[in-house]
Every structure is written in C-alpha cells, then in structure tokens.
A = this chain, B = another copy of it.
C-alpha cells in the first residue's frame, strides 16, 4: 500500500479507496482478470464502484508500473499485477492464464537482444503461448 501511495504521489495522483481496492485485488490474485471481472468481484464490497473507474485505475496502475495490460486474442484485455516481463500460457478453451516462470526468461531476453540488434529501442514484450491446458485436455476426451 505504501508502494502504491508513493508511486501515485510521484505522478501527482491521489490514493483513493477504489484505487487501493483494485491494486490489492490484482496483487492478491493469480488469475489475470479482465476489467469487467475485477468490477464484478469488487462490486459486492464497493457497491458504488463504476466500471469506468476500473478502466481508469487499471490504466493508471499500468502507467506507474504496478500492473500491466495483456492484449490477448479474446476481445477483452486481461490485467496482471506483476508488471515484470514474463511469459504467459493461455488456454484457448477455458481462457485461463498462467505465468511461465524462470526458465523461459533467457529465451525472452534473447529475443529482445535480436530486436536491439536491429536498432530497435525495446520498451516491453508480450510473450504468449496459446494452447490447451491439462484440465481441458482431460475434459476434451
């Protein structure tokens, strides 16, 4: 929470209950939710919350580096409270998203290096593997 307050202050922004709730929700989940999902999950505790505020807050969190937007194949973007560069595993059937940790990082760095070799100034990357998760493979039998 202090991290959030500090990052907001640097930007000349205020810490509101809505921003705190969305920040903590993202921090505490591994599910990479959509804006709509976050809205639905917080609505019970914050009945006056508006979807618009969720969108605005997610944008702010993205800008101050405390979250990232994941543009995926499905229509709605998903959000990640972990803003560090890491690869994602996305199930085409259940649309759940998992992190690929550790061992994929050197590969991602290698790709960045290739980009820099072409004179690109790299800002961020999106590495997403689409497929079918073990659960859905089992169901699909």
Q: Which residues of A contact B (CB under 8 A)?
A: 69, 71-73, 87, 89, 91-92, 98, 100, 102-104, 106-108, 110-112, 114-115, 118-134, 137
Residues of B within 8 A of A131 (CB): 115, 120-124
Q: How many copies does the complex hold?
A: 2
Give the shortest distance, in Å, between A115 (CB) and chain B (any CB): 4
**A71-B71, A71-B73 given as contacts; is B130 within 8 A of A114 (CB)?**
no
Residue of B nearest to A87 (CB): B111
**A71-B71, A71-B72 given as contacts; is B122 within 8 A of A111 (CB)?**
no
**A71-B71, A73-B71, A100-B115 given as contacts; is B120 within 8 A of A132 (CB)?**
yes
